[in-house]
């Protein structure tokens, strides 16, 4: 096994993939916040803002898609544990400077493993749903900067992305 693989939790001694055993971990409150953005033409942003998208309510539909996606993460990402999430929020705000929409997802549970993948999945699928709803009027739309912003709980404790504005206590 390579030196790089030795630090990976999902790789066994001979290099095979496996799901990490979390049974000995304590249940703690765990929260993750992820964000991303969807850049588009200013005219497309106006269509969304004015509620004139042919497929319907872009923001409402995308928010539901993101929440549903967070709950399905273990079905989408190999080796993720199925989790009983206690909270998923997806916020979508207009940003004229992009121009486009900024997406932030917060995921919470009390359990043995973190929810970073669920937060990232929520942001990613929210962005994909936005693209699907507007691709007929803007084929150049771009999803960018999907990333974890903060996490709390677990053995490793709290973390906030360096150089980012503190999102506050994600709990």
CA angle 118, 120, 123 (to 5 degrees): 110
CA angle 112, 146, 164 (to 5 degrees): 85
Nearest in space to 110 (alpha carbons), one of 154, 73, 156: 154
132 is catalytic: yes
Task: Give me the half-sphere count of Cα atoms (radius 13 Å) on the Cβ side of residue 138.
Answer: 24
Contact 88, 107 (CB under 8 A): yes
Contact 92, 62 (CB under 8 A): yes
Q: Of 95, 132, 145, 158, which is the active-site residue?
A: 132
Contact 49, 117 (CB under 8 A): no
CB count, 10 Å around CB of 76? 12
Catalytic (active-site) positions:
132
């Amino acid at each position: 096994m390579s030196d790089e693989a030795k630090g990976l939790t999902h790789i066994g001694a001979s290099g095979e993939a496996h799901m990490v055993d979390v049974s000995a971990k304590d249940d703690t409150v765990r929260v993750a916040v992820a964000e991303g953005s969807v850049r588009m033409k200013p005219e497309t942003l106006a269509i969304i803002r004015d509620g004139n998208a042919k497929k319907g309510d872009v923001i409402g539909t995308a928010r539901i898609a993101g929440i549903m996606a967070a709950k399905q993460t273990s079905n989408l990402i190999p080796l993720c544990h199925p989790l009983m999430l206690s909270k998923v929020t997806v916020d979508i705000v207009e940003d004229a400077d992009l121009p486009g929409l900024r997406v932030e997802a917060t995921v919470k549970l009390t359990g043995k493993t973190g929810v970073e993948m669920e937060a990232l999945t929520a942001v990613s699928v929210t962005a994909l749903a936005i693209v699907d709803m507007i691709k007929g009027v803007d084929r150049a739309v771009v999803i960018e900067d999907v990333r974890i912003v903060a996490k709390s709980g677990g053995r490793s404790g709290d973390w906030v992305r360096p150089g980012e504005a503190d999102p506050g206590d994600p709990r």
